[in-house]
Amino acid sequence: MSEEQKEKKSQPIGYYDKRPEFGKKGPSRIRTHFTRGLSYFLVIAASLLFYFLLLRLGQIGETVNKVIRVLMPVVYGLAIAYILNPVVTFVEHHLCPLLKKKIKKEQRAEKISRSIGIFAGLLLLIFIVVSLCNMIIPELYRSIVGLVYTLPRQITDVIEKINAMHISESTLGILFSNVVTQASESLQTWLRTDLMSQTNTLMSNLTAGVINVVSSLFDVLIGLIISIYVLFSKEKFSSQCKKIIYAVLKPNHANMVLHITQKTNTIFGGFISGKILDSAIIGVLCFAGLSLINMPYTLLVSVIVGVTNVIPFFGPYIGAVPSALLILLDSPRMGIYFIIFILVLQQIDGNIIGPKILGDSTGLSAFWVVFAILLGGGLFGIVGMILGVPTFAVIYYIADMLINHWLEKKNLPTDDVFYGQLSFVDEHGNFIHVETPEGGVQKNSVMETEIKEKTKEVKEVPDELKKDKKEDE
């Protein structure tokens, strides 16, 4: 070590040679008052902003609807990607190990398997849509043409049968016969005159409907392209979302959000995939059963029953009502057979097929399922009826998790079994649960017996200590 270095080392270090530390004595008065004033200002500004937002609520709603309409291809793309993801995952899981044995680069094997999986998923989706259209549209056209040609004859036959029953002798019979005759004449007049006069209105509405259908098909086509990009980069999008959540929220809050997200994916994925499989099985069984009894409109009715079965609880009846009316117009006897067959089929679905496939994917009781369907259908129509049950299941899970957390903080049990008719919490916060058996005699619960056993153990410990002390003496 040189002499200059020894001299520098021996020199005393001044106060300003080291960087001073901030925030040791706390914030200053000026900063405290400024922070308080800024808080007041932000509260007042937020209140004014909320007031003006309420005044412009209609315009905000229109803007939001416009943004949603513009982003509908993205919504369609995300929905298609979510539906096709199980197919892509299944293909990757079985194909990727085989490709890795033949291809040295793992990344290339993964990309090839991902591409094949996406292509297989899109082919499956297009095949299902085209098959449904080929089954529904020709049958629907034939049924409409048949109704137009046969309905007047069927009404005339009904009137003749009613007249042949000799019910016109009573006043009620005469009134009923007149009502049926006038109704049939009015219907035939409407089919011949009013229907033709309303052709222009129908054609204009049909043109608008065709334009809307074409626009929706264009959005779906763009959505298919978007779904391909989403499926190719799903891990990257997932990682980015996870990074944003950890950057914005605290670790415990971020973990809670990710847990709820994972639970939501489990509920929605299990419900949607299970319902699609269940509806496909019901459609096939309906087609097989109706074919055996030579039911008219077999293919059309089977498709209607299978598609509407996607809607929980009310779906089978929504599909059965128009199908039964369609068959009743062709053959009343077959219509009655169809109603009996659908009731039997839905019992099989509700008690055997549905529970085997869906299991307890939502965790909701029958009451909450009906509640979710009515609320979702009233707010969002058919989509709300389909997605209302899993959405409400997620809300129910979050509420149940919060309630259990609050009960655990109060040292109270979380199981519903403990909250019977005789259970209560005393003024000291102790939970007392009393079960009432069939004989009507009250007995202490398992929780109380455990508490008594623990208190006995606590009392026995001092006695053992006393014995040890006496032995030592």
SS3 (DSSP) at 431: strand
Answer whether residue 203 is part of any domain. no
- Answer yes or no: is pLDDT of 174 > 80: no
Where b means 16+ CB within 10 Å and e means fewer, 214-230 reads: eeeeebbeebbebbbeb
Residue 75 shares a structural domain with residue 156: yes
Look at residue 205 in the predicted model and tell me its pLDDT: 61
Answer whether residue 377 is part of any domain. yes
Residue 259 shares a structural domain with residue 390: yes
Q: What region, left, alpha or beta, does residue 424 occupy, with left being phi > 0 and alpha being psi -120 to 50 degrees?
A: beta
Answer whether residue 465 is part of any domain. yes
123: containing domain:
59-164+217-232
Residue 382 shares a structural domain with residue 457: no
Q: What would the pLDDT profile of 323-381 be if each residue is shown by its tens digit?
A: 888 888 777 788 888 889 888 888 888 778 777 777 666 777 778 888 888 888 888 88
Answer whether residue 191 is part of any domain. no
Residue 400 shares a structural domain with residue 454: no
- Provide the CA 306 distance to its chain's centre, in angstroms: 19
User: Domain boundary at 179, 201, 232, which?
Assistant: 232
Look at residue 410 in the predicted model and tell me its pLDDT: 84
Q: What would the pLDDT profile of 128-143 be if each residue is shown by its tens digit?
A: 888 888 877 777 777 7
Answer whether residue 192 is part of any domain. no
Residue 136 shares a structural domain with residue 282: no
Answer whether residue 171 is part of any domain. no
Residue 335 shares a structural domain with residue 315: yes
Residue 108 shares a structural domain with residue 254: no
Residue 348 shares a structural domain with residue 266: yes
Residue 317 shares a structural domain with residue 431: no
Counting the structural domains of the chain, the total is: 3
Residue 330 shares a structural domain with residue 456: no
Look at residue 294 in the predicted model and tell me its pLDDT: 86
What are the phi and psi torsion angles at 431 (to 5°)? Answer: -85, 130
Residue 141 shares a structural domain with residue 79: yes
Answer whether residue 262 is part of any domain. yes
User: Domain boundary at 366, 385, 409, which?
Assistant: 409
Q: What would the pLDDT profile of 41-92 be if each residue is shown by its tens digit?
A: 888 988 888 888 888 888 888 888 888 888 899 999 999 999 999 999 999 8
Answer whether residue 317 is part of any domain. yes
**R_g of the chain computed on alpha carbons:** 36
User: Domain boundary at 232, 262, 282, which?
Assistant: 232
Q: What would the pLDDT profile of 277-313 be if each residue is shown by its tens digit?
A: 888 888 889 889 888 888 888 888 888 888 888 887 7
Residue 374 shares a structural domain with residue 438: no
Query: Could you tell me the pTM of the whole model?
Result: 0.69
